[in-house]
Every structure is written in structure tokens, then in C-alpha cells.
Amino acid sequence: MRDDAKMSRLIWVLFLTLAACQSAPQPRVVDLHPATVVAQRHLDAQGCYRVQPGDTLYSIALSFDQDYRKLIKINKLQKNERIYPKMRLCLHDVPASAAQTQGHGTVTALSQRKVERPVKKSTAPLIAGRAPTLRWSWPVHGRIVGNFSGQALGNKGIDILGKRGESVHAAADGRVVYCGSGLVGYGRLIILKHAGAYLSAYAHNDSMLVHEGEVVRRGQIIARLGSSGADRDALHFEIRKAGRPVDPRQFLPAAGCMQPGC
């Protein structure tokens, strides 16, 4: 009789354990890029983004895999027009009845004060003479420890292992359009604008040696390699064409050369 009671208790415990396992919610695995996750918190029902302090048109475009030129067109922004915190920028065309951002990207009263730091204007032309043909070179020498992925949630660039303080070079002629640490997941980030709707991004720098508005040449030192926002010393490098991430190795020379004559 005593054995029967023990067996009954054991069966009851097993039943409760199985029931608990079946009712426990299964965890969801979400692997969105940190910058995209954070940026999506500031989207409204019409898919428009509320500009945050430190944002630039280029950093917003990078977060959402958008072409900065498309954002300018959709929001009817003037050339070289600044954006401000609380400004509403639409990422896609919206019905006229729903759009609140018109003309100069209508801003709220709270956003009338400029908070962006002064930008040093360069008088040097981005490219002298005839229309350029972009030539690319490696931003750093090192082993690739993270490959580009074409998947929606994959790596949007490549990760190149290096040593802290190592020189990071501009991969092509261009202009600096962003220097900052406002994009979560990128650490200290530099974005260069190039001819032909190309952008290149250099993330996790230890220090940045250029400023916004500066014209740079291929091979010029723009930063020191580091691990800001990452768990190892490596450069995260991206190339975007019309806002879309592309595999940088399609553009980089096979030998990893950074000199102008390559």
C-alpha cells in the first residue's frame, strides 16, 4: 500500500512537470540590427521618423537602409537643409491627408533651436575635373572575422580584425557626412559620401580624426581602430549603394592595397 502511494505521488509530480513545460511560453528570437531596433521606436503609424538629437540625414538613412536622396525628395527638403530634433521625416510616400511634413520638413516649436555642432565647410571640390570613376581600397589590413550577408537580418558589411590604434583609411575619395556615436551598435562611426550614390561606413573606432564636411582622399587616415560598441578590436566596414548594403569585397582589390597607385 505504501508503494502504491509513492507511485501515485510520483505520477502526479510528473504530470505537473509536463503540464508546466507545455504551458511555458517559448522565447522569441529577434536578431534585428541594434540601430534599426532603436530607430523603429521613433516611427509613427504613417512610417515617419521623429528626428532625435545627434541624427543626420545620412545616419537616419543608414539605420533604415534608405537612400538619403529619397528622403530629401519625399520630405521636400532643400539642398543642404539641416534637420532638427522633433522634425518628422517620412521614410516612404504617404497620403497627403496623413503627411504633416511639407515644404521645409515642418518642425515643431520645440525644435526651432539648433543643436547640431558647427560644420567646417571645405572649399575644395569633392572631385576635380571630369566626372569621377570610383576606385576603392581596403580601409585596414587584417583578417575578415565577419562576412557580409544578404539576409534581411544579416551582417550589413564586413568585420576586419586589427589592433587598437591602428590606422583606418578612407576606402575611396569622398566627403565626411557623419562623425558621431549616435547609432547604437556602431560605436564611434564615420560615414563618407562618394560619387554615384555610394556611402561607406567605418564603425567601432577608438578615435576619429576627421570632421563633418571635410573632403578626404582614398587612403587618407580618418580614424584609429578600436572596439567602441563591440567586444573586440575590429573595424566594421560597410558600402551602401542608393541606401542598400552591398558586399564590400565586390569593390575592394584582392590584394588589400590602400595606396593610390593600386
Give pLDDT, residue 216: 98
Domain 144-250 belongs to what architecture?
Distorted Sandwich (2.70)
Burial label, 86 (beta-carbon count in 10 A; 0-12, 13-18, 19+):
middle
Give pLDDT, residue 43: 84
Dist. CA 224–CA 166, nearest whole Å: 5
DSSP 65: T
Q: Residue 188 — very low, low, confident or very high, per pLDDT cuts 50/70/90?
A: very high
What residues does each domain of the chain span? Answer: 34-111, 144-250
- Please indicate whether residue 76 or residue 7 has the higher confidence score (pLDDT): 76
Dist. CA 83–CA 7, nearest whole Å: 72
Q: What is the pTM of this model?
A: 0.71
Q: Is the pLDDT of residue 161 over 50?
A: yes
As a 3-state breakdown, the chain gives helix, strand, coil percent values, each rounded to 5, of 20, 20, 60
Task: Report CA 78 to chain centroid distance, whole Å.
Answer: 24
CATH of 34-111, one of 2.130.10.10, 3.60.15.10, 3.40.50.720, 3.10.350.10: 3.10.350.10
Quick one: what percent of the chain has pLDDT higher than 70? 67
- φ, ψ at 240 (rounded to 5°): -115, 140
pLDDT tens sequence across 209-238: 999 999 999 999 999 999 988 888 999 999
The overall average pLDDT reported for the chain is 77
Q: Residue 132 — very low, low, confident or very high, per pLDDT cuts 50/70/90?
A: low
